[in-house]
């Protein structure tokens, strides 16, 4: 990112898939690292769309809402919450 201001390449918005805060996914970073990434992208003028998935087997009412609170705390430009199960009660 340090070369970004000198480049002709420009990003308006990127999608960062958070997926879940309750279970480790190979691609996910720690929450604190994700928050730093969002802040750094925003500082460079890049809007962030944060996507989050509900409906995994390990999720329940409490940890879904905890995850949504963390998602909002990331201070993204936009949020996308995807539901894997149409019968999930949150």
16-54 burial by CB neighbour count: b if 16+ within 10 A, else e?
bebbbbeeeeeeeeeeeebeeebeebeeeebebebbbbb
> What is the pLDDT at residue 88?
60
Comparing 83 with 6, which gets the higher pLDDT? Answer: 83
From 34, 17, 27, 29, select the one nearest 70 (Cα to Cα): 34
Q: Tell me: pLDDT of 24 over 70.
A: no
Compute the distance between CA of residue 22 and CA of residue 70 in angstroms, rounded to an integer.
11
30-68 confidence digits (pLDDT tens):
888 889 999 999 988 889 999 998 888 888 888 889 989
> What is the pLDDT at residue 12?
81
């Amino acid at each position: 990112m340090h070369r970004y201001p000198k480049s002709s390449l420009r990003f308006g918005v990127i999608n960062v898939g958070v997926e879940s805060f309750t279970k480790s996914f190979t691609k996910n970073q720690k929450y604190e690292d994700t928050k730093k990434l969002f802040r750094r992208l925003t500082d460079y003028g890049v809007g962030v769309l944060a996507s989050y998935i509900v409906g995994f087997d390990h999720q329940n009412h409490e940890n879904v809402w905890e995850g949504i609170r963390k998602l909002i705390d990331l201070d993204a430009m936009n949020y996308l919450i995807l539901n894997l199960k149409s019968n999930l009660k949150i």
